[in-house]
A and B are shown apart, each in its own frame.
Chain A
Amino acid sequence: MPKKAPSNTIPEDIKVAETHEYARILGDNRVRIGITDFAATQLGDIVFVDVPEIGDTIEKGESFGSIESVKAQSDLYAPVSGEVIALNSMLEDSPELINDDSYDAGWIIEVEITNAAELDTLQTGENYLDLVESQ
């Protein structure tokens, strides 16, 4: 039976909020926001993603959208503040990309951040994994 190995590493350019959303630093004050592999696995099969529109602003700690999986609905909380500049259009037809490849093909929105210092309040991938493993 094919089975994805549990991901126990997180790319180094990723910072994670305690609410399981990540921000992947692209440079030029741009980040891509998604949810961690751990969170995606907990949710199970993701079937819908509800996201803001390009041009909308999001506020750190505030809900900016939601995810529906077969078993539950989850709100998405912004790990950083900024303006939405791109959406992952692949998720429209293939929301399961979040389950399959949460850090690359499964990103959710791209944001131009307004306060780079907010990134320093997030966990490193290593710290985040220690945190969820100790739970």
Chain B
Amino acid sequence: MESSHPSAENTAGPKDSPLQVTPLYSAHQELGAKFTAFAGWQMPVQYEKTLTEHRAVRSGAGLFDIAHMGLISLSSGNDQAEGAFQFLEGLLPRDLSKLKPGKAVYTQLLTHDAGIIDDIILYKTPENMEFDRLFGHYFLVCNAANAQTVLDWLKKQLQERKDTGNAAGLLQSVTISDLRDQFGLLALQGPKFADILARVGYQTDNMPSRFWVKPAVIEDMPLLVSRTGYTGEDGVELIVQRGQLLKLWQRLLTLGKPYNVKPIGLAARDTLRLEAAYPLHGNDIGLNDTPIEAGLTWSLHVNKSVPYVGEAVLKHQYQVGVEKKLYGFVINHKMIARQGDIIYKNSRPVGSVTSGSISPVLNLPIGLGYITLPIPLQPGDIVEIECRNKRVAAEIVEKPFYQKT
């Protein structure tokens, strides 16, 4: 047997530096987890079986250690959100002017060419955050692999704006803080998530709506409950003091037992997000892709009134359209297309696969890939993908591959 692990390379962190671990490392070991290097962190890739974990999230609930993710806050001091607002509004391709405290939005940090530095969830910090002032006026969660890049980029952008004096008065008070040493995230995802939260004493009538965040207290632990996730299921991401992550993890697993909650590794996190057609930065989106090419136009306010980074390219693409697009496909053959496999149309190479795996729900190979064609493909169109010297037919389908009912 000879194995190919096409996507293993870009998930590993810097080769020479030791891997970091989250406060849950020993708990994962006790659960029998297998580990993998991911973005410089030693993370659980699987506890039992990837497919079992995947199905547990779709039918019950799953608990994810995502304490490796980046967590950064922005404050403009003196209880005035205005400075932080002006800074972010001048950066991001999304209109933040109507954002209320406690609202979360999906957005991207872009280069001037509208390449994607990272995709993030940005929160306007809820009011009543007396438990911790560190969350400032806005905070964001970014990919673990990009946490330092995002922090450095934000600081550089802020310094440039402070130096040029444009709106400098308000921006002078803006500070950026890395919160990852003090706080960490867990994700509880799946149809039974609210039942489990109720079991640990959470007042579920206080549950935030989708893409909102609220402060709460669970067993004397102050935390933030965010109704967000990366699985295609309903659920929450919990932000808690790093020293309390282990206690919260254990309480959710123990008290969630009647609901068959399972710990979920990175392998199932990947199949879950792919089934939901959520792009993964580093695979499906990156510096050479714009949000419009990636099919993320829904998250943009291209023509918002305030200039932002990447504006010229986005406006142009929005107006004239793009030939390169991220498509979803299924393969009616027992072959999984892997990252880097070449996509053909009428025997001509037209693109490549960015993510490929099985959809456990459809029991079919699925994937995402960029295809560049003057006339866009439609659902039902057939392309060919070269998987290990074999051309297999793939059908273009609507994204997502799975939608919860």
Contact = CB atoms under 8 A, between A and B. Distances in A.
B388 A73 contact: yes
B175 to A, nearest CB: 42
B5 interface: yes
B267 interface: yes
**Interface-centre pick from B49, B334, B388 (highest chain A CB count, 10 A):** B334
A48 B57 CA distance: 22
Nearest to B360: A47
B193 to A, nearest CB: 20
A44 B50 contact: yes
Contacts, number: 73
Contact of B267 (A35, A47, A50, A70): A70
A2 B31 CA distance: 9
Given A20-B1, A73-B3, A3 B334 contact: no
B48 A1 contact: yes
Interface string A1-41: 11100000000000000011100000000000001000100
B358 A47 contact: yes
Given A19-B1, A75-B2, A76-B1, A70 B51 contact: yes
Contacts of B271: 70
- Report the interface size class on chain B: 20 to 34
Contacts of B32: 1, 3
B47 interface: yes
Contacts of A75: 1-2, 388
B339 to A, nearest CB: 11
Contacts of A66: 388
Nearest to A68: B336
Nearest to B335: A68
B51 A72 contact: no
A21 B1 contact: yes
Interface of A: 1-3, 19-21, 35, 39, 42-45, 47-50, 66-68, 70-77, 96, 99
Enumerate the 10 nearest inter-chain pairs by beta-carbon distance, A residue then B residue, closest first: A48-B334, A74-B3, A45-B50, A47-B358, A74-B1, A20-B1, A3-B32, A72-B3, A68-B336, A70-B50
